[in-house]
Structure 1
Amino acid sequence: METSTKPVKGKKKPLNETEPVISGNVVDQPVETSPGAFISANTVESSLDQIQKEHVIPVFVKDNEPVISHADFIECTQDIVRDIFHGETIMKPAVRLSHEIKGRIPEARNKPSKELLDHERTIYYERMAFLINIPSIADEVGGNTLSLTIGGVKAYNLDNLYSKKGTDEHFKVFIGFQVKVCTNLCVWTDGFVGDLKVKNLDQLKACIKTLLANYNGQRQLEALNSLNEYSLTEHQFAQLIGRCRMYNYLPSTQKAGLTPLLLNDTQLSSVVRDYYRDESFCRMSDGNINLWKLYNLFTSTNKSSYIDTFADRSVNCFDFVSDVKNALSGDWSSWFLS
């Protein structure tokens, strides 16, 4: 289903209010997921329906009680989103999985792997990330359409599955914006809970509701828009990338107080490549690049991060570019540009 994404100029309200930022045909039933992967490294595409029908659910070893499954997490988030954003266009969850864990039913324990029948195989994935996009709540930054997006990350490797039910289970939840042209995810600290510990599904629901209720999307849009006002010269860009590579080798005393960029060297190389080649966010003809484009080069290469670091690095990209902006505005000095 297609909906209008043209922003209503002069009528914007914070996105936690009832009136959407844009006009258009809106429904509260899921429609098709957005094309393009929001994360790619070591992941496979999946769906809520596939997880519900085909994946077994891990349990706590000591009492054989089930954990909060990937499907539980996605379903409860989807229900909350439908309730809070009733009347909006809410797309089906886009799901990515990694770290496949295979098994087999007891009756097939002695069979060679190549002889296993489909019903004799079991499977689940250790790590999962999902996004729920709301294209009817959108705005424009730097000529790019952004739509409101809610998502989460679950990695069983962070849980103590050798314990019993009631032990803390770990989740990451976020709300922010997705850039339509490239599916880059824009998340900042105010819309992110990086280590959510809960003991049951009711606690998880309550925490997700609190995050969504307290989120002020208009503030984030204003912060993203402000990145267009500042630019780096080619020399400054080269120095920034070089300092980012140097950061990990600094003495610990020099690291104190600095906001590092958590992207690895391979990802930084991709940023440099796309500085010259990216169709939407490359440099200007004079070599200058504004911070909105730089930020998108960072969030684009972050798609190659593993699921368990993806959301944290997304938030870090915004924090880092915000520090660069403050340095350019003269609010404080930055080692990365000095």
Structure 2
Amino acid sequence: MEQTAFLTLPTTRSYIDFEEMSTNKPFLQANTEEFTFQEIRKDHTIPCFAKDNEPLISHCDFIDATTGIISDLFKGEIILSPNIRLSHPIKGRIPEAKDKAAKDLLEHEKTLYYERMAFIIEVPTISTDVAGNRLNLTIGGVKAYSQDNLYNKKGADEHFKVFIGFQNKVCTNLCVSTDGFKADLTVRDMQELQNAIYCLLQQHDSGRQIAQLKSLANYHLTENQFVQLIGRCKLYNYLPAKVKADIHPLLFGDTQISTVCKDYYKDEAFCRSDDGSINLWKLYNLFTGANKSSYIDTFLDRSLNAYQFTEQVKFALGNQRHSWFLS
């Protein structure tokens, strides 16, 4: 099995004083805004549990804990600054300004935090090449306070999503596999969160994931097969529940499938060949590219689903295994 390539670049700096951010392009778009770690720590408040006014684990604490574990597990590697995307702002005001009109509020009288957050941290000295595309090891997570019961007290379950995988540097698409993703991580304190992140990162088999990604380039869909696949994808969300229960789930909606269709013709890196055929590595990247329009709370789940869906297509092509999407 082919292993990840390790590049030797001399540095001992951590993300805190390293000037380059993880990817210079948005890895997620939709309705998100980009913020730096320092801006969030300085300007954003932290929601508390209503029953005891104790704080939840903050976005910054989540990012900081993840970075510390990355630094411990990947000693000697370059670790870039986190790229952070936020959405769903929750605005407030200090008690002294409770009777003021919104237009009259001064900056110091306003409070703000964002309900949903996604971040990635690149380790560019651990990289590989798949079909001419450079992939960097990337770790990150998602936090959505909307999944927590804020009317409880400290010690109630808090929900997180964590992943380790690779980012395609051609397009900033994320490659997330089953063993590199914790979809519903519930913890009661920071220690439990750190332990769960550490276990996920330590157990991830990067060599296996890269071998699986490389294999996708060996499988091709004809133009007719691609058209049939897309047609079935469009139909999937309208199937009766009884029929859908026997089909491998597809989490992408009409908007994302339409993006896949457009990029099949127009994407510079992953479009069709002259004869209309497309290999599964390119198909996979069309789906992960379309996923950038997802909201934060569905982003990682769809990232994994793109991988699982493409693997199902590969199995159907390679073993003549039945697939509803190609039947």
Instruction: Report the equivalent of 1:312.
Output: 301
Task: Give the corresponding residue for 2:172.
Answer: 183
CA-atom RMSD in angstroms: 1.3
> After the TM superposition, which parts of structure 1 deviate over 3 Å for at least 4 consecutive aligned residues?
23-28
Give the one of 167, 172, 175 matched to 2:161.
172
Contact 2:80/2:121 (<8 A) preserved: yes
Matches within 5 A, 1:43-62: 43-62=32-51
Q: Which runs of 5+ in 2 are unaligned?
A: none
Task: Tell whether 2:253 aligns with 1:264.
Answer: yes
Equivalent-residue separation in structure 1 for 2:266 and 2:314 (angstroms)? 23
The Cα of 1:24 is off from its aligned counterpart by 3.3
Select the residue among 90, 101, 116 that pairs with 1:112: 101
Query: Are 1:63 and 2:48 counterparts?
Result: no
Residue 131 of structure 1 corresponds to which residue in structure 2? Answer: 120
State the SS of the aligned residue for 2:100.
Answer: coil
CA distance in 2, matches of 1:332, 1:25: 48
Name which of 15, 18, 22 aligns with 2:7.
22
CA contact (8 A) 1:27 1:90 kept: no
SS in structure 1 of the partner of residue 115 of structure 2: strand
Whether the 8 Å CA contact 1:185–1:314 is kept in 2: the answer is yes
Give the corresponding residue for 2:70. Answer: 81
Once residues 24 and 285 of structure 1 are traced to their aligned partners in structure 2, the CA distance between those partners, rounded to angstroms, is: 40
1:329 corresponds to 2:314: no
Report the AA paired with residue 299 of structure 1: T
Q: Aligned-pair distance for 1:22? A: 2.6
Aligned match for 1:300, one of 265, 289, 308: 289
- Count matched residues: 323
1:86-134 CA distances to partner (integer Å, 9 max, x unpaired)? 1101000000000000011111111111221111110000000000001
How many Å apart are 1:330 and its aligned residue?
1.6
TM-score normalised to the size of structure 1?
Answer: 0.93
- Matches of 2:165 and 2:141, distance apart in 1: 11
Give the TM-score taking structure 2 as reference length.
Answer: 0.96
2:206 aligned residue: 217
CA distance in structure 2 between the partners assigned to 1:23 and 1:83 by the alignment: 18
Counterpart of 1:163, as a letter, is N
Counterpart of 2:138 in structure 1: which amino acid?
T
Q: Deviations over 1:288-316 (max 9, x none)?
A: 00000000000001000000000000000
Q: Name the residue aligned to 1:280.
A: 269
Percent identity over paired residues: 58
Q: Which residue of 2 aligns with 1:248?
A: 237
1:35-87 residue CA offsets vs partner (Å, 9 max, x unmatched) = 00000000000111111000000000001110001111000001111111111
Alignment of 1:29-40 (within 5 A): 29-30=14-15, 31=18, 32-33=20-21, 34-40=23-29
Contact 1:22/1:139 (8 A) holds in 2: no
Question: Whole-Å Cα distance in 2 between the matches of residues 302 and 254 of structure 1?
Answer: 25
Unaligned runs of 5+ in 1: 1-9
1:94 paired with 2:58, answer no
User: Relative to structure 2, which stretch is displaced further, 28-37 or 132-141?
Assistant: 28-37
Residues 331 and 21 of structure 1: CA distance in aligned 2, closer, same or farther (over 3 Å): farther
* Partner residue, 1:141: 130
Instruction: Give, in angstroms, the shift of residue 265 of structure 1.
Output: 0.2
The one-letter code matched in structure 1 to 2:195 is A
Deviation at 1:259, TM superposition (A): 1.5
